[in-house]
Amino acid sequence: LAVQDVAASIIITDRNGTVLATSLPTVSLCADSKSIIDPDEVARQLLGALLDLNAQKLGEDLQNGKHCSILRRHLTPRQYYEVNKLGIAGLEFLPDERRIYPVGNLAAHVVGYSDVDDNGLAGIEKSMDARLSRNSEPLALALDLRVQSILRQELEVAMNDYHAEAASGLVMDIGTGEMLGMVSLPDFDPGHPGIADDNQRFNRDTLGVYEMGSIFKIFNTALALDSGAVHLADTFKLESEPASPVI
Catalytic amino acids?
214
User: Does residue 79 contact residue 72 with C-beta atoms inside 8 Å?
Assistant: yes
Closest CA to 109 of 184, 169, 24: 184
Q: How many CA atoms lie within 13 A of 3 on its CB side?
A: 19
Q: By C-alpha distance, which of 123, 98, 129, 126 is closest to 191?
A: 98
- What distance in Å separates the CA atoms of residue 119 and residue 190, rounded to the nearest whole number? 13
CB atoms within 10 A of CB 143: 25
Query: Cα dist. 61→45, 53, 125, 215 in Å?
Result: 15, 11, 32, 57
Give ∠ CA 44-28-83 in degrees, rounded to 5.
35
C-alpha 1: how far from its chain's center? 33
Q: Helices marked H in the chain — which ranges?
A: 39-49, 55-61, 77-84, 108-111, 123-127, 129-134, 145-162, 198-201, 212-227
User: What separation in angstroms does the CA of 43 have from each of 27, 52, 67, 78, 133?
Assistant: 19, 13, 17, 19, 37
